[in-house]
Amino acid sequence: MESDEKQAKLVPVFNIKRLQYETNAWQAIRNPLPEQPPLFSEGETGGIVLPDFDLLDPDEGKIRGFLADGTTSFDAVRSETESRLRTIQSSLEFQVDQLPDNVHKLEQRVLVAGKEANKVLSVNALRLRQREEWETESAGTGDMPVIELDKNDSPRDVRRGHYHIAAEQRLFADECESGHVGVLP
């Protein structure tokens, strides 16, 4: 208890000291810096002496030659760089313009291919249905459902497998006509 009371009395004192410290820090930041003497006197700094360039690699020598070439001015390098950038930009604009055009053409081809595939599937579904009708009429089982044909046929009947296939083909033809074509049977 006594320590809690002492601590409660000291907390405002610590807060006051902390606030005074922060106030002094802010005032120090606001005040201008005192004048500092220069590190080197004007007479001490001479011309810049470059190291021996014979020690550089060939690639480093090319870079050094480009950067320290006294014969080319900054304006010449700048104009050459600008012309290179313009050339790159013009060729890049053409390629960027071609990209959406080619994407559009590809989308159109995919749509046309889908329509053609649907036409082929519907024609084949119609042919399958016509073939099924012809085969059931030629077998004399035109009015009987496929399930009854499977039950009534003997195992030796060669056409038994055909009727089962015909039922699958009919399902496929119905799918083709409805536009919801699944996996081929």
Q: Which amino acid is at 178?
A: S
- 22, two tokens: 């922060």
The residues near 170 (Cβ < 8 Å, ≥ 6 apart) are: 128, 129, 132, 146
Whether residue 161 is contained in a domain is answered as yes
Helix, strand, coil content of the chain in percent (nearest 5): 75, 0, 25
Whether residue 87 is contained in a domain is answered as yes
Q: Which amino acid is at 6?
A: K
Whether residue 3 is contained in a domain is answered as no
Whether residue 71 is contained in a domain is answered as no
Total number of domains constituting the chain: 1
Whether residue 26 is contained in a domain is answered as no
pLDDT exceeds 90 at position 67 = no
* pLDDT tens track for 159-171: 445 555 666 666 6
Whether residue 107 is contained in a domain is answered as yes
Residue 91: its pLDDT value, please?
80
Whether residue 28 is contained in a domain is answered as no
Highest mean pLDDT among 60-64, 111-115, 133-137, 173-177: 111-115
Whether residue 185 is contained in a domain is answered as no
CA distance 33 to 46: 29
Confidence of residue 72 (pLDDT cuts 50, 70, 90): low
- State which H helix or E strand residue 112 sits in: helix 74-139
- 145, two tokens: 């459902």
The domain containing residue 121 runs over which residues? 76-178
CA distance 150 to 134: 18
